[in-house]
Structure 1
Amino acid sequence: MILQIGGVLSAANLLQITTAIGKIQFHDGRATAGWHARTVKDNLQAAPSELLSSVQAQVSAGLMANDVLRAFALPARVLPPLISRYTNGASYGLHVDDALMGTPPLRTDLSVTVFLSPPEAYEGGELEVQTPSGIETAKFAAGDAAIYPSTCLHQVTPVTRGERLVAATWIQSQVRNAEQRAILFDLDRARRKIFASHGKCEEFDLIAKSYANLLRQWAEI
């Protein structure tokens, strides 16, 4: 499933980030792809620089400040985001993300795409994820994020007009198992709703206890 997380980046953040990206050099995106994904990757990637590091820090800060993302993903480690540009027919064909990335290696449990261009700025460029229930697509507002299991085959359809800018990153969760993460996410939402309506009541305490004890049982730290 694709989870849409709104408002990861504010309008002010987006303006700063896109202005900075306009000053960054880009190179062939195949340099950061695995050996098999390289055959279907056709985009541009921001080249390393101090300015890119600043952009990466802003995107990462927005992600980690988001309560929904933290509750859903339970991040243990997060890679610095890659900034990708798609124009003039660029695409990224069907592939699965590498299981291990970065140095030291990070286990990719969840993939995240943060949209930096508004959807009306380009045609095509949909993120398509193959899930057990069928193909799900994402083309969200600028500043929103799509998060989905890294175990899924996925692709970006060709951009036929305009420019698609995104930041892509990967999360190693404290809880490896996706079904266990889903249970914890449901419990977290339930306890927050109960607390908002009734405060620290008996029902809240029971759900909070179950959440804490399951996390204690399942977490890998």
Structure 2
Amino acid sequence: MLLSIPELLTPEQTRQCRAALEQAAWVDGRDTAGHVAVQVKNNRQLPLDHPVAQHWGQAIVQALSTNPTFMSAALPQRILPPRFNRYEGGEAYGFHIDNAIFQAPNTTTRVRSDISTTVFFSDPDEYEGGELIIRDTYGEHSIKLPSGHAVVYPGTSLHRVTPVTRGVRYGSFFWTQSLVRDDGRRALLLEQDVAIQRLIQAGADPEVVAQLTGVYHNLLRMWSEL
């Protein structure tokens, strides 16, 4: 399931975050790459304990918790603290699949990366290249969204970031462990949830809505992992 979330952050939040990112001290992104990814990764990141990363990471998680599209699509159980990256001067990230399991910082908690999310903090006309390319059974999808918008996609996806040849591409990326591990099942639950909401808006028979809602929750009960 590939899903865009427009205006995850408000324009003012996006502006403030971008200003903070422009002033931050960045480190080599390869410092956090695995032994395979390090061969294709060429960008810069903020350290996990950087005040800017911690402050705006919390703001992103808070925005996600009140975003009905994300909550319905992801069914989040745990969200890793968002990380921040920067690409410029030809920097890129070749095709890779993210680690299946991450350890939450400063804890013994492990998080399965069912869902990947990227939040953009540069507008498309500010830089050349820098497209997020996601490959699935339907081919390759090129993603380049306005600042403050996010894209959600399966953590199992092969993906890359094309070289940034002009300007600077700022972004945030992170992973979510879902209550429902399987992407196909999450997609079916999202479709049913959307259909139920449309029926409610159309004034459908409450008994029919209740019946379909019951099916939704019984499927969620059957498929969820706690």
- Normalization by structure 1: what TM-score? 0.96
1:51 offset after TM fit, Å?
Answer: 2.9
Query: 1:52 and 2:57 equivalent?
Result: no
The 10-residue stretch of structure 1 (200-209 or 148-157) with the greater mean CA deviation from structure 2 = 200-209
- Normalization by structure 2: what TM-score? 0.94
Q: What do the CA deviations read for 1:25-77 (whole angstroms, capped 9, x no partner)? A: 10000111111001100000012322321111112212222110110010000
Q: Work out the CA distance in 2 between the residues paired with 1:183 and 1:52.
A: 34
Name the counterpart of 2:10.
10
**Which consecutive aligned stretches of 4+ in structure 1 deviate over 6 angstroms post-superposition?**
none
Q: Work out the CA distance in 2 between the residues paired with 1:115 and 1:2.
A: 16
Q: Work out the CA distance in 1 between the residues paired with 2:222 and 2:79.
A: 22
User: Residue 130 of structure 2 contacts residue 169 of structure 2 at CA under 8 Å; is this kept in 1?
Assistant: yes
Q: Work out the CA distance in 2 between the residues paired with 1:58 and 1:200.
A: 39
Name the counterpart of 1:77.
78
User: Residue 24 of structure 1 contacts residue 52 of structure 1 at CA under 8 Å; is this kept in 2?
Assistant: no
Q: Work out the CA distance in 1 between the residues paired with 2:33 and 2:66.
A: 28
Alpha-carbon distance change, 84 to 195 in structure 1, aligned in 2, over 3 angstroms? same
Query: 1:168 and 2:173 equivalent?
Result: yes
Name the counterpart of 2:133.
128
**Alignment counterpart, residue 207 of structure 1, candidates 203, 208, 212:** 212
Q: What are the ranges of 5 or more consecutive residues in structure 1 without an aligned counterpart?
A: none
Percent identity (aligned): 38
Query: 1:109 and 2:114 equivalent?
Result: yes
Q: What are the ranges of 5 or more consecutive residues in structure 2 without an aligned counterpart?
A: none
User: Residue 127 of structure 2 contacts residue 169 of structure 2 at CA under 8 Å; is this kept in 1?
Assistant: yes
1:200 offset after TM fit, Å?
Answer: 6.5
User: Residue 2 of structure 1 contacts residue 136 of structure 1 at CA under 8 Å; is this kept in 2?
Assistant: no
**Alignment counterpart, residue 140 of structure 1, candidates 138, 142, 145:** 145
